[in-house]
Chain A
């Protein structure tokens, strides 16, 4: 029996092996993705992001426990940690906070190194999520690397993005900057037993009040991609703020409820389908970009290419001009 067939029948070893193939972008992995793709599109993808040390992994641990106790849905977790920019190695430590989930066959945790991607998730995270989706995991939680201000790729991937904050990380100016707070569908103030939690909550709340309910428009290589929201104000989603102490499990039920409400909102407003569409389009375009680059590198004369690089380094021509010449076969 093929690995994909075993995976569809629920074999966990086949699932694990295929995740590796897909992550490594091997020919077998690509073939498997093509075979599995018709089986995808059923899962609720939940992104969890926030600064390092805010408690993302602990929150993921508790959320997964909550889903396993209160639903019969299988839960997959893709936890991304950074790769070293120098050696390509990585220490993936998110499992340390997820020990409560072991021994449950309905949970599958996979750690993933970012392998050079800077958007908070890895290039192949979306593909791994598809494999889990096909394998029948109805809830898929994607935990990003500890994100600063602009690691917002997870919002393109997930249906619901949860941004985790903690007290003491910045003032109200941080809260009105563009970037990570804008992508939040649900805001969580974790470590709510620490001093300063009221200030953090107030800053976030006033930010939400300042914000015009905007449509989501992703800048996608200069082209604006609108994820059309409804124009009726009452149907605009305002991110709820939940307070949690993830290590102790307080406030988790409320977060799960916010996530469920958001999913219901997406389905009702038509945003669910719109987000799916936007995600698949951006995935196709990323592949197109990669393939075109590969094809170009195969066809270009190596000496020409090197020569062009030398010319740029010596400031004889600009990178822009070099691209023009290369594409014209010079």
Chain B
């Protein structure tokens, strides 16, 4: 009767109010059979790390369109580490300038998706990341 579902936290840190992208991704992951915990707008890094801990998620998807990704992403990664959740993989979707991408990956962000990214790619990458966490 063991049933392992992939659990994903979809969160929007920061102050911009554009949540359409986050909702599209949440819906796509749902349709791929995953359990998506959706936290809504204007989450602080502390709120996101706390939700990730309580929900014991495998993967976190952050939607950032405010330009504050270089401040928000490292803070969230740091909090995850502090909580003993360094194995949880973090993805970012939104508007990320090309020059920031390598630095975000260096910090430990697993994947970055801009406008036009296919949900199929996202689903595939999330599945792989969840598998990595649980091995």
Residues 23-67 of A, flagged 1 when their CB comes within 8 A of B and 0 if not, give 011110000000000000000000000000000000000000000
Known: A91-B26, A93-B40. 6 other contacts (CB 8 A): A24-B5, A25-B3, A89-B33, A89-B34, A95-B37, A102-B46
Asked if A90 and B31 make an inter-chain contact with CB atoms under 8 angstroms apart, the answer reads no
Binding site for B on A (CB under 8 A): 12-13, 16-17, 19-20, 24-27, 83-84, 87-93, 95-96, 99, 102-103, 108-111, 113, 115, 290, 294
Q: Which of the residues B2, B31, B36, B39 comes within 8 Å of A24, measured between beta carbons?
A: B2
- Which residue in chain B gives the minimum CB-CB distance to A107? B54
Asked if A88 and B5 make an inter-chain contact with CB atoms under 8 angstroms apart, the answer reads yes
A16-B54, A103-B50 known; A115 and B3 CB under 8 Å?
A: yes
Asked if B53 and A16 make an inter-chain contact with CB atoms under 8 angstroms apart, the answer reads yes
Asked if B2 and A89 make an inter-chain contact with CB atoms under 8 angstroms apart, the answer reads no
Asked if A99 and B1 make an inter-chain contact with CB atoms under 8 angstroms apart, the answer reads no
Q: Which of the residues A88, A91, A93, A111 comes within 8 Å of B55, measured between beta carbons?
A: A111
- Which residue in chain B gives the minimum CB-CB distance to A19? B56
Q: Which of the residues B35, B39, B47, B54 comes within 8 Å of A89, measured between beta carbons?
A: B35
Asked if A109 and B38 make an inter-chain contact with CB atoms under 8 angstroms apart, the answer reads no
Q: Which residues of B, 51-70, contact A by the 8 Å Cβ criterion? A: 51, 53-56
Asked if B38 and A96 make an inter-chain contact with CB atoms under 8 angstroms apart, the answer reads yes
- Which residue in chain A gives the minimum CB-CB distance to B28? A89
Q: How far is the CA of A24 from the CA of B35 in the complex (A)?
A: 13
Q: How far is the CA of A89 from the CA of B32 in the complex (A)?
A: 7
A16-B55, A91-B27 known; A96 and B39 CB under 8 Å?
A: yes
- Which residue in chain A gives the minimum CB-CB distance to B58? A20
Asked if B30 and A90 make an inter-chain contact with CB atoms under 8 angstroms apart, the answer reads yes
Q: Which of the residues B26, B35, B54 comes within 8 Å of A108, measured between beta carbons?
A: B54
Asked if A16 and B56 make an inter-chain contact with CB atoms under 8 angstroms apart, the answer reads yes
Q: Which residues of B contact A102 (CB under 8 A)?
A: 44, 46-47, 50-51
A89-B33, A89-B36, A95-B37 known; A12 and B5 CB under 8 Å?
A: no
A16-B54, A91-B36, A92-B37 known; A84 and B5 CB under 8 Å?
A: no
Count of chain B residues with Cβ under 8 Å from any Cβ of A? 33
Asked if A17 and B56 make an inter-chain contact with CB atoms under 8 angstroms apart, the answer reads yes
* Closest CB pairs A-B (n = 7): A96-B40, A89-B30, A16-B56, A102-B47, A20-B56, A89-B33, A87-B33
Q: Does B85 contact A (CB under 8 A)?
A: yes
- Which residue in chain A gives the minimum CB-CB distance to B47? A102
- Which residue in chain B gives the minimum CB-CB distance to A110? B54
Residues 1-45 of B, flagged 1 when their CB comes within 8 A of A and 0 if not, give 111110100000000000000000011011111111111100110
Q: Which residues of A contact B47 (CB under 8 A)?
A: 99, 102-103
Q: Which residues of B contact A20 (CB under 8 A)?
A: 7, 56
Q: Does B131 contact A (CB under 8 A)?
A: no
Q: How far is the CA of A111 from the CA of B53 in the complex (A)?
A: 12
B66 CB, nearest partner CB in chain A, Å: 18
Q: Does B116 contact A (CB under 8 A)?
A: no
Q: Which residues of B contact A115 (CB under 8 A)?
A: 3, 5
Asked if A13 and B37 make an inter-chain contact with CB atoms under 8 angstroms apart, the answer reads no
Q: How far is the CA of A26 from the CA of B1 in the complex (A)?
A: 8
Asked if A26 and B2 make an inter-chain contact with CB atoms under 8 angstroms apart, the answer reads yes
B91 CB, nearest partner CB in chain A, Å: 17
- Which residue in chain A gives the minimum CB-CB distance to B46? A103
Q: How far is the CA of A20 from the CA of B83 in the complex (A)?
A: 17
Q: How far is the CA of A169 from the CA of B5 in the complex (A)?
A: 35
Q: How far is the CA of A178 from the CA of B115 in the complex (A)?
A: 51
Most A-side CB within 10 Å, residue of B4, B53, B55: B55
25 pairs of residues in contact across A and B, judged by CB atoms under 8 Å:
A12-B53, A13-B53, A13-B85, A17-B56, A24-B5, A25-B1, A25-B3, A84-B31, A88-B5, A89-B30, A89-B32, A89-B33, A90-B35, A91-B26, A91-B30, A91-B36, A92-B37, A95-B38, A95-B51, A96-B38, A99-B47, A102-B44, A103-B46, A113-B35, A115-B3
Q: Which residues of A contact B36 (CB under 8 A)?
A: 89-92
Q: Does B97 contact A (CB under 8 A)?
A: no
Q: Which residues of A contact B32 (CB under 8 A)?
A: 87, 89
